[in-house]
Structure 1
Amino acid sequence: MTEFGYFLSCEDFRPAQLLRQAEQAEQAGFRSLWISDHFHPWIGRQGNSPFVWGVIGALSRTSRLPVETAVTCPTVRVHPAVIAQAAATSAVLLEGRFRLGLGSGEALNEHILGGSWPAADVRLEMLEEAVAVIRLLLTGEEVSHRGRHYTVENARLYTLPEIPPPIDISAFGPEATALAARIGDGLITMAPDAGAVRRFRGTDGSRPAYGGLKVCWGRDRAEAVRTAHRLWPSMRLPGELQQVLPTPTHFEQAAELVTEDMVAGAVPCGPDPEEHARHLQAYVDAGFDRVHVSQIGSEQQGFFDFYRDSVLPLVTRDSRDVPDARVTR
C-alpha cells in the first residue's frame, strides 16, 4: 500500500514552526517527512529559508518519523564532500531514519557565490560525479578524487551510521530520469508520472518512487485558491524557468503570468476530501511507494485534522484495490 508523508516547506516557515508541523504530521498519521533545502524562498512572500541541516538536527530530537531532504543540490553552493558529512551526521542522529534526496538544483539557490550557472547537461554531469564522491566518503575510507568538476584530498568521515543512507535522485524529464535510474537508490518527482516510474525502475521493481504534492486546505475553496496563488504561483511556471531564474524578484515577475485558474487546476484546494483524494490517488495509480503532502498557508492544524479524519482514510481504503500500488522491497 502506498504510504503518505508530510512535506516540510522551509520556504514558508520558521524552524520552530517546522518542528511543530513534524509533531502534528506524526499525530495525524503521516509516516515520513520530506524537508526542502533552499538558500532563498521562491518568492519574497513565502518569507523564510532556514539552513536545512540545523532543522534536521532538531527534528532528530522532536520526531520519530523518517526524514529526507527534498532535495539537496550537492554541486555548486555546497561541495559534495560537505554534503556527505552532513548526511552521515543526520543518519547517525536519526538512527537510520534518514534518506538523502539529491538533485541538480536551481540558479535561485546555487549562483549565490558568484559562479556561472551551468547548462542542464553539465548540471547532470556534475550531479553524477557528486553522487560518486558522496558514496565513496560514506564508506568511511580515506578518499582522494580528482575529477572533471570536483577535487577531494585525503578526506575521511569519522562519524558514520552503521549503514549508509540511501540516495534518491530528483528527476524531471527523460535525461534526468535516466540518470536517476543509473545512480539512484530511489526516484523523487513532483508529478504522478507512471512512465517516469517505469523508466526509473526498469527491470528492478524493488527501487522506490517518491512523489510530492502541494495542497491548500481551507473551509472556503475560493479563498484557498487565492492563498495557493499568492504563495506558490511559481509551481505553474513552464519549462526551465524554475531552474534558471536567479532571484525571488525574477520569480515574482514571471509569476505575474500565472493566473488563479492555472493554480486551481493543478492544486487541490478547499474542504472537499474527494478532490484531495483524487490527486493523491493519481500517485497511487502510477505506482508510487510514498507521497508527501505539503499544506500551503497558515491553516496547518485544520489541514492535519482534515487529512487525518477525511482524506487519508479515503485514499488508503481505495489504494488497497490497486494491485501495483505497493512495490515489494
Structure 2
Amino acid sequence: MCFDRSFPPTFVTEVARSLEAGGAQQLWVIEDCFFTTGPSLAAAALTVTEQLTVGVGILPAVARTAPVTAMEIATLCGLAPGRVLPGVGHGVQEWMAQMGVRPVSPLTALEEVMVAVTRLLAGEQVTSRGHYVNLDAVRLDQPPADPPPVLAGVFGPKSLALAGRVAGGVVLAEPASPSYVRWALEQAGRRPGDPDFHVAVFGVVCVKKDRAEAYRTMAPWLGRQLDQPRTTLTTLPFFDDLAARYADKGLDGLATMPAEWWTELAPVGTLDDAAAHLQGLEDAGVRSIGMYPIPDVEVARTQLADVVELARG
C-alpha cells in the first residue's frame, strides 16, 4: 500500500500495523513538497513493525545534500536492517525552484547524487568534484551492513537510461501498466527479472463487487491523467484509441471502455480484475507494488482489507 501524501502522520503507524497483521509485505511512504517527509514516516512505520518492508518514494535528489540523504537511508537501515527500499528522483522541478535548489541539469544532478549515495551506503570514503556534489573524504560512521538498492524515481527515456547505468532499480509512478514497465526496462537497457535491478511500481486501487461501479469511481482520476498524458499512458498499445474515446465521450467513455484496458492500467474492478493486473506486473518483471487508496482516511481504512487480500493472493 502507498501512504498518500495528504494523510496525517499519525495514521502511518495504524496502516503499518494493519498491513503487517494482515500479511502484506510492503508499505510505501510518499515524500512530496510540501507535505510530509519520507524518512520520518518510514521510521515511524518501521519501529512499530517487525517484518514489513518500507519503501520511500521518493527523496528529491537536490532537496538534501547527498551525504544527508545517505545518512537518512543508513539510519532507517539501522532501525530495521533489510526492510528499507529507498527511492531518489528529480523531484518536481517547480517545487525545486520554490526552494531555490532547481538544478540547471536535473539529469546530471540525479546521476551525481545517485552515485555518491550508493558509494556512501557501501561504506566507501567518497571524494567528489562534480557540478552538484562536492565531497571531501566523506564516509558514513554507520553504513548498513547490507546496503539496499537505491532506486531511481524517474519516467522519461533519458532518466530511465541513467537509472539503468547507476541505480539499483526504478520506482515507476502510477499508472504503471505492464506495457509501461516493459517499455521502461527497454529504455533502461535492462531485462525483466534482472536480479540486480529492482523494479517497483505504483498504482491506484479500487475494488468493488460490481466492476462498473469501480470504473465509474475511477474515471475522473483517469481523465486527469489524460488531460496531461505522460509516458505512463502514451506507451500503452491502445493510447490513441483511449485518447480519442475520452475526447469524444468524456468521463462516460472512460467508465465504459473495455474491461481489459482497465485491467492493463491499474488494480481497478473486481478483486479478480485487480489480481490479474498485479499478475501482469509481476510477469513483466515487477518485484514491488504499491497501491494508492482513495485519499481519504476513512475510505483508506476500508481499502486496507482489499490490499491485504490482494497481497495474500
TM normalised by structure 2 equals 0.76
Query: Gaps spanning 5+ residues in structure 2: where?
Result: 232-249, 256-261
Mapped partners of 2:144, 2:268: distance in 1: 41
**Structure 2 residue aligned with 1:205:** 194
Deviations 1:283-319 (A, max 9, x none): 123122232222123322322223444x445xx4xxx
For 1:120-159, list aligned pairs within 5 A: 122-159=105-142
CA contact (8 A) 1:24 1:301 kept: no
Mapped partners of 2:165, 2:308: distance in 1: 37
In the alignment, which of 167, 171, 177 is matched to residue 184 of structure 1?
167
Identical pairs, percent: 26
Query: Gaps spanning 5+ residues in structure 1: where?
Result: 1-5, 41-48, 241-258, 317-329
Offset of 1:268 from its aligned partner?
Answer: 4.5
Residue type matched to 1:123 in 2?
P
Offset of 1:94 from its aligned partner?
Answer: 1.3
**Structure 1 residue aligned with 2:294:** 296
For 1:256-267, list aligned pairs within 5 A: 260=251, 266-267=265-266
Relative contact order, higher structure (CA 8 A, sep 6+): 1
CA RMSD of aligned residues (A): 3.2
2:267 is equivalent to residue 277 of structure 1:
no
Offset of 1:196 from its aligned partner?
Answer: 2.6
Mapped partners of 1:83, 1:8: distance in 2: 20
Mapped partners of 1:71, 1:133: distance in 2: 17
**Structure 2 residue aligned with 1:247:** none
Q: 1:136 to 1:268 in 2, by over 3 A?
A: closer
Mapped partners of 1:287, 1:131: distance in 2: 22
Q: 1:154 to 1:213 in 2, by over 3 A?
A: same
Deviations 1:216-249 (A, max 9, x none): 3457767766765677875443249xxxxxxxxx
2:83 is equivalent to residue 97 of structure 1:
yes
Which of the two has greater helix per residue? 2
TM normalised by structure 1 equals 0.72
CA contact (8 A) 1:231 1:296 kept: no
**Structure 2 residue aligned with 1:13:** 7
Mapped partners of 1:58, 1:213: distance in 2: 23
More deviation, 261-270/82-91: 261-270
Deviations 1:90-123 (A, max 9, x none): 11111221122122221243222234464xxx21
CA contact (8 A) 2:207 2:271 kept: no
Mapped partners of 1:167, 1:179: distance in 2: 13
CA contact (8 A) 2:33 2:95 kept: yes
CA contact (8 A) 2:208 2:271 kept: no
SS of structure 2 residue aligned to 1:89 = helix
Mapped partners of 1:215, 1:85: distance in 2: 33
